Amino acid sequence: MLICPLLSIAQTKNNLPQQFAVIAEAAKGKVGVSVQVLETGQRMGYNSIRQFPMQSVYKFPIAMAVLQQVDQGKLQLQQPVKVLPSDYIPRPGHSPLRDEHPAGNVDVTVAELLRYNVAESDGSACDVLLRLIGGTKAADRYVHSLGIKDMSIALTEKVQVPNEPMQYQNWCTPDAMNALFKKFYTGHVLSDSSFHFLLDLLVNSGPGARRLKAQLPAGTVVAHKTGTSGTENGLTRATNDAGIITLPNGQHMVISVFIRDSYADQQTREKTIADIAKAAWDHFVP
């Protein structure tokens, strides 16, 4: 009499993609998930090879491309950059840099631009960084040079923000974003100083408190980057969170959760991401 319940619990725990599918129904859209434990190679996915718009998650690979040029000596972290009024993205695009210096013509270091870009998800800072490294094509080439093929960095924030349907041109698969985070964390593609600088920005990123880390134990280290589109006529084209979660045993779970073309409200979309992260946590944490 006791065996059946135990088997049922084991089957549920082992069928993580099925759990993802059930959780995803609440989003009223398309959900993609990729999960991998770096130290063991264990992988799970759900719609993990489908294309999803990245929105601001693409600021992570852009930051990597900038730091590669820092490592090559083409840029310096303390190098001042003149931010012009023409660099600012239009409202309602998110840009603390624009809001703090509305007149523009302010000098901001590369390091501070990276902080705005990653930790505050600033669209204007992102575009200034793209300008410094040679545009979206340079960032796209860098990502592809790392062997990450299912990812496209095509548009600046200035183009993307006022043209919602165009955001699909900045896309990736959940598996590809996971592969990039794995390359970043284990592939030694950046110098130690650049790696730790970016990792700190990801860990201290402000947005996304209700997403990947919302249901994880207090104090869990989550290095992540969110992405969110606007909502038009009830349609939200992108609600995303991707990153690296440190497990209690010291191992690391890379997870990317993307929601596209959703008609659910923001609370539901964010809870969907949180529920998926918690299901993955429960699966891999004894």
Q: Which residues are catalytic?
A: 56, 157
The residue written with tokens 């918690």 in the block is 278
Task: Tell me the sheet residues that pair with 107.
Answer: 82
Nearest to 21 by CA among 52, 51, 45: 45
Tokens at 222, concatenated: 């989550």
